[in-house]
Amino acid sequence: MILSKNYQEIHRCSTSLLTLISDKKDSQIAEEISDEDVEKLFERAKKQINVNAYERNTKARQLCVKKHGYTCCICGFDFEEFYGEIGVGYIHVHHLIPLNKIHEKYQVDPENDLKPVCPNCHAMLHKTSLSIEDLRTLIKK
């Protein structure tokens, strides 16, 4: 008798489950995404881009870091101190006057025209029109 009751309960649950599954074809659970909604995302598409590249003087960079060091002049980040051996001698050098604004060849003064900055500060300088001093003030707030 107990086995019969269990069988009946299992049968009832199975039937209910099958009904739910068959009804699901017309409905969608919120977390599911239909095949039509799935966007195909591709990468590695090749495209050709023409840009102007302005030559940097490697000697000017060397003289800049010789004078100012390898610490970011804005936030004070030091790659060697943070990363150890792999950070030795690493820093970006920022032109105070962007080369794309000069439109001609010019004589660079490594001590006054170039400043060492970390990549994060360098990106923020190029993203905004802030000066080094303004960005330094902003991050100290």
Q: Check whether 27 has a pLDDT greater than 70.
A: no
Q: Output the pLDDT for position 7.
A: 61
**Do 116 and 132 touch, CB atoms closer than 8 A?**
no
Query: Can you state the angle between helices 119-127 and 132-140, rounded to 10 degrees?
Result: 110
Instruction: Calculate mean pLDDT across residues 21-33.
Output: 59
Q: Output the pLDDT for position 3.
A: 52
Distance from C-alpha of 104 to C-alpha of 107, rounded to nearest angstrom: 10
pLDDT band at 21 (very low <50, low <70, confident <90, very high): low
CA Rg value for the chain: 31
Question: Can you tell me which residue has the tokens 């030091």?
Answer: 78
Q: Check whether 71 has a pLDDT greater than 80.
A: yes
| pLDDT tens per residue across span 78-107 | 999 999 999 999 999 999 987 777 777 888
Amino acid identity for residue 18 in this structure = L
pTM metric for this prediction = 0.65
